[in-house]
Amino acid sequence: MIRNSLLLVAAVCYGLVANSGAANLARTNAETAMTVTMDGGSAMKKLPAGVVLEVLQDNGDTLQVKDENGLVGTIAKSALTVEQEAVVTVSATTAQPAVSGSNEAVAPAVPDANGKESPDGLNKAFGLELFTDTNLWQDDADAVAKRLGWPQESRTDTQSSYRLYAKSEVRVLGTRPYSLVLYAHDNKPDSLSMVFSNKGDFSGVGKKNDEKKRDVAIKDFKDAVRDDAKIIEQTLSAALGMPKRQTFGETPETRESVARWDWQEHAILLASPKDEYVAVRIVRKDVADNYGRASRVDGLRELLQNRVLKRDNGDVVVQQIPMVNQGPKGYCVPATWERYLRYMEIPADMYMLAMAGNTNMGGGTYVSSIVDNINIYVNRYGCKIQAVDASLDTRNIARYVDKGLPLMWCCYVSKDIEKNITRRSEQRRDTMDWDAYIKELKAVKKQYRDATFRDINAGHMRMIIGYNSKTGEIAISDSWGNWAAERWITVEEAASTSQGYLCIIKW
């Protein structure tokens, strides 16, 4: 039994708003920074020139804007050029599928010369430029993502992912998707996950201060899950015929009952667990035949050891951790677990993990639930989940990081400390005099040495991925996108916000 068995990590995520209809857009004139707000804190995200943003509100000298992933923040008005939406051309990285606004009935796929459904016919059914031939698995993953218009989320030496949090007008398989992601291995497509109505992204289900509105939203959500599943099954059946029924997933907590359609070497699976989500996954036929089980990776211990980077300034950091952007919901726990599992070469999906972890509507997860419910799944890949000494000193952190094992850490998000992290992480990149930098840290360390920050509404899970014994800092990584992949916090700041829980997944 793991410590802190009732530890609840609340829905800490960015200040995000629902997609709206017509709006003004703005384009960055040059490299600039967006101040991102979240429950309990804020951070700075750098943006290059030419990024297109949706304008939400004019605040005088600043504009409140939203980026392609639904991330909301403020930018100085002087750094932007505002244009009407009809005038702005959306870039390839933010492009929506060509038929995203279509509500037309989907016709059956057109057979090819051999009597099989054609790629063009399936593309029409999906409403996506997905297939160019009969074998997606042989395509270049970057090329697939480009024609889909799904921006890169993560890239390591062996894995990559491309995720789009779709706008409200987008239609795939005849209904609205929320998260669209392509997973790739060695730059070849490995699987696709399309998530429709779900308890994390669905508007209103996370409301805590208005019980009546929340109840209405939950009813609407349940209706949407039922309707989405029906529409998608009808659309795929019109194109590919009636489905087979099977299960997909290795353990009771991660197993789904799915409708399955096969086309060439692809299995298309529709899952709709009660009151959880509607998802369509495209996997290789042999993966579906094996109920989703993948092969173990040989030599994992040595592989992880080789992912440890040591810098001249004393930084020791675990590299090659996939990024998962939790998006506009409080899914820090399932997103962090997906990152760690994929780092260990174990297939994972944050929506499935949210189901296994009994994540609340809108977000908020009991860590004990996710540990108990996926432990058998992790064991089947020759790994185990282990709670470890929660001391946040660099010597304790080094015991795991030096072996290539990041730590999952439950903490609270403090607004003041987040500002320190953002500022200092920028400062570190330009620091040449590390002795002077260490001297500057003394005041911060003294300030937080005996401080304690506790806010049940600001609970969060993040990774600890590194340490520096000389500076007395630890490296953290959040499931907020690549801009938050590596940031630095002093040991004293970390200790003041800790919930006293660390765990790892090890061989």
* pLDDT tens digits, one per residue of 244-262: 999 999 888 889 999 999 9
Q: Is the pLDDT of residue 101 over 50?
A: no
Report, as an integer, the average pLDDT of 369-378: 94
Query: What pLDDT score does 303 carry?
Result: 94
Residue range 443-454, pLDDT digits in tens: 999 999 999 999
Q: What b/e sequence results for 76-111 when a residue is b if at least 16 CB atoms lie within 10 Å of its CB, and e otherwise?
A: ebebbeeeeeeeeeeeebbbbbebbeeeeebeebee
What HEC string does 13-61 produce? CECCCCCCCCCCEEEECCCEEEEEEECCEEEEEEECCCCEEEEEEECCC
Query: What pLDDT score does 113 carry?
Result: 41
Structure tokens at 389: 């000494």
- Rg of the chain in Å (alpha carbons): 23
Contacts of 334 (CB under 8 A, 6+ apart): 326, 350, 351, 353, 354, 357, 359, 365, 370
Query: What pLDDT score does 51 carry?
Result: 82
* Spatial contact of 503 and 428, defined as CB atoms under 8 Å apart: no
Please provide residue 447's backbone torsions phi and psi, each rounded to the nearest 5 degrees: -60, -40
Between 176 and 32, the more confident residue is: 176
Range picked from 203-212, 214-223, 488-497 for highest mean pLDDT: 488-497
Query: What pLDDT score does 214 carry?
Result: 82
Of 200-204, 456-460, 489-493, the least confident? 200-204
Query: What pLDDT score does 42 carry?
Result: 54
Residue range 282-331, pLDDT digits in tens: 999 999 999 998 888 889 999 999 999 999 999 999 999 999 999 988 99
- CA 173/CA 102 separation, integer angstroms: 10
Q: Is the pLDDT of residue 15 over 70?
A: no
Report, as an integer, the average pLDDT of 332-339: 97
Q: Is the pLDDT of residue 159 over 90?
A: yes
Domains of the chain: which residue ranges?
Answer: 25-84, 119-289, 301-506
CATH of 301-506, one of 3.40.50.150, 3.40.50.300, 3.90.70.10, 3.40.1710.10: 3.90.70.10
Query: What pLDDT score does 73 carry?
Result: 77
* Spatial contact of 200 and 354, defined as CB atoms under 8 Å apart: yes
Confidence band (pLDDT; 50, 70, 90) for 37? low
Instruction: Provide the sign of the torsion angle of the four alpha carbons 479, 482, 485, 487, taken in this order.
Output: negative
Residue type (1 letter), 335:
A
Confidence band (pLDDT; 50, 70, 90) for 108? very low
Q: Is the pLDDT of residue 23 over 60?
A: no
Of 35-39, 104-108, 378-382, the least confident? 104-108
Q: Is the pLDDT of residue 106 over 70?
A: no
Would you tell me how many other CB atoms lie within 10 Å of the CB of residue 244? Answer: 12
Between 123 and 94, the more confident residue is: 123
Query: What pLDDT score does 88 carry?
Result: 30
Report, as an integer, the average pLDDT of 48-72: 78
Give the chain's mean pLDDT.
86
Query: What pLDDT score does 43 carry?
Result: 61
Q: Is the pLDDT of residue 2 over 70?
A: no
Report, as an integer, the average pLDDT of 458-471: 97
Query: What pLDDT score does 38 carry?
Result: 52
Q: Is the pLDDT of residue 39 over 70?
A: no
Residue type (1 letter), 273:
P
Between 103 and 12, the more confident residue is: 12
Of 9-23, 65-79, 397-411, the least confident? 9-23
- CA 449/CA 443 separation, integer angstroms: 10
Report, as an integer, the average pLDDT of 144-163: 97
Contacts of 504 (CB under 8 A, 6+ apart): 385, 386, 388, 400, 405, 406, 407, 408
Query: What pLDDT score does 443 carry?
Result: 96
Q: Do domains 25-84 and 301-506 have the same CATH topology?
A: no
Q: Is the pLDDT of residue 5 over 50?
A: no
Domain 25-84 carries which CATH code?
A: 2.30.30.40
Confidence band (pLDDT; 50, 70, 90) for 65? confident
Q: Is the pLDDT of residue 405 over 70?
A: yes
